[in-house]
Structure 1
Amino acid sequence: MMILRYSAASPYARKIRIAADLLGLSDRIEIVAASTADPNDTLRTQNPLGKIPTLILEDGVALYDSRVIADYLDHVAGGGKLIPAEPSRRFEALRLQALGDGINDAALLIRYETATRPAALRDPAAIELQQGKIDRALASLEASPLSGAPDIGHIAVACALGYLDLRFEGAWRATHPRLVDWLAEFAKKVTAFDATKA
């Protein structure tokens, strides 16, 4: 059995859990919590970066990060399921995955800046820089609604929106009604989205 090292709040680990469910692989993966801050957690020997998600294969090889894991799981499931084989669809799905992951990257940096750094040391310019990335990405998604069967891009965007709900009280919802509607439809189609909510 494969082992997924994860944290419930991680949008990247959530992406993998949803992908595994859609690919019919959930019963082949044991979900094991990891503490990235704990120097005694075996995560650091499994992944030298000490990051999640990390997927431990049955032969002990560790795969990371979420994009590599998603690609591997799609391959195990026969290929072309969540990462389309046809070039135009494939690169659109991968582009959306990069956009969703980029929203998460920026949101995590804001979270670290505001939740872990002492108030006197916080850098408003750094927060504004990251918020600008999120705002532009959301505006782009609002202007061009997502369509088609769920793929890795849709999953990544959904997880990014879920992370904004979790950490930033869903403030994005007030100005992105089409994205709100899309996420509600995604959650109806992909039951693992609500099942993996932190």
Structure 2
Amino acid sequence: MKVRTEAKREAIIEAAATLFQESGYEGASMNELAKRLRGSKATLYGYFPSKEELFSAVVRSFATDHLAEATQELPATVKDKAELKAALLHFAEQILLVLTNDTKAIAINRMVIAEAGRSDVGELFHQSGPDECIAALTRLLQKSMSLGLLQRGDAGVSARQLLALITAETNARMYQRHTTPIALPAIRRMCKRAVEMFLAGSAPQKDAG
């Protein structure tokens, strides 16, 4: 009986990431991956029962781990506006550091965009990180609304609006052939603009009269 190892699993994910980038989700095959690893499909399926599960592992490893980390560090609640702003700034910085400077994450995101109209790759991508991130952010914003720190409304919509603001200044990089890293001070300025705009637009409205 062959023993599964974490090192072997990581080697499969690494090779699969390269294959997905080169061939796209639909074009990548377990046969080709087995050839590249000089192994068998049976071994691959022993670690990942389907291409969908393998893709999800690649996404988590290279493109959405930062979301998981950012999500885990979001507090369940905050006591005041200053604490909420600090939590959102930290959250935004963690996201942008990866989306602007991690070449592997950028490549996976580009592949997802290219394939989304031809397969279920977009849904698989969101299920492998973004959905969990949005859910956690929604809970924090909902709690902040109940405490009167934010204007009451649909917290899920607010979470998506915040994420859109965080990435607004860097989205174009996904479509550029050559990009250069963005320094931390510049990333922090982008985060500050995004979070401050969100908080200004979400501030509780004063009671009329």
Judge same fold: TM > 0.5, yes or no.
no
More helix by share: 2
Structure index of larger Rg:
2
- TM, length-normalised to structure 1: 0.31
Q: Which of the two has greater strand per residue?
A: 1
